[in-house]
Structures are given as C-alpha cells and as structure tokens.
C-alpha cells in the first residue's frame, strides 16, 4: 500500500513538472515525462507480482533521468527514490510482522 502511494505521488509530481516544462522544452521531453507519469500510475496496480516491483524500480531510474529535462528534478527524483527504498524496507518489515502474527494466532475453533 505504501509503495503504491509513493508511485501515485510520483506520477502527480511528474505531471505538475510537465506544466513547468511545457513552454521551455521540446515536445519529445514532454512526451517522455507524460509517459513516465502514466507508467507510474499503471505500475501501482501491478505491484502484486515480483515483476511489478522490478518494473516500478526501473521507473525510478527513468524518474531520475527526467532531471535532464528539468534540472530541479534531480533533487525531487532523489527524494522519491529514497521514499521508494523506504517503502520497500517498511513493507518487508510489515509483511514479516504480519506473518509472525498469523503464525502465532490460535486456529479458529
């Protein structure tokens, strides 16, 4: 759930950054940013599989590369990569705690 929220917020951030890039950059840069924003939203839905996590992690690199279009996005992209890593780590801890609670729970009678 946390990772999906990070991906959706990244998508919104890229979308708002596109508004800044519209008047000063080429249409190719705008299409690149729009495709990243769309793929980020779509990847939030496929996080149930391991390939979804790999795809979303690859999109983090594409997000950082958007900094070549808008230089301030190197900073924003770095912050979101940090949030992505934190979401992965916190998610793993949460799943481990959930599994241990389910294992210690007495069977229903």
Percent of the chain with pLDDT over 70: 98
Q: Which pLDDT value is given to residue 102?
A: 83
Length of the chain: 109
State if pTM tops 0.85.
Answer: no
Comparing CA positions, the residue from 44, 31, 34, 29 lying closest to residue 84 is 44
Query: Per-residue pLDDT for 106 more than 80?
Result: no
For 50, the token pair is 């391991």
User: pLDDT tens-digit profile of 42-79?
Assistant: 998 998 888 999 999 999 999 999 888 888 889 999 99
* Separation between Cα atoms, residue 30 and residue 36, nearest integer Å: 10
Helix axes 73-104, 50-65, angle to 10 degrees: 160
Round to whole Å and give the CA distance between 28 and 70.
13
Structural domain spans, the chain: 2-104
């Amino acid at each position: 759930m946390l990772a999906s929220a990070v991906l959706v917020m990244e998508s919104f951030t890229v979308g708002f950054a596109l508004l800044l890039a519209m008047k000063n950059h080429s249409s190719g840069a705008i299409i690149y940013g729009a495709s990243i924003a769309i793929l980020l939203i779509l990847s939030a839905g496929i996080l149930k599989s391991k390939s979804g996590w790999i795809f979303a992690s690859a999109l983090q690199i594409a997000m950082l590369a958007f900094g070549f279009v808008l230089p301030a996005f190197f900073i924003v992209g770095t912050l979101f990569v940090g949030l992505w890593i934190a979401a992965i780590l916190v998610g793993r801890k949460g799943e481990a705690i959930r599994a241990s609670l389910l294992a210690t729970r007495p069977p229903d009678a």
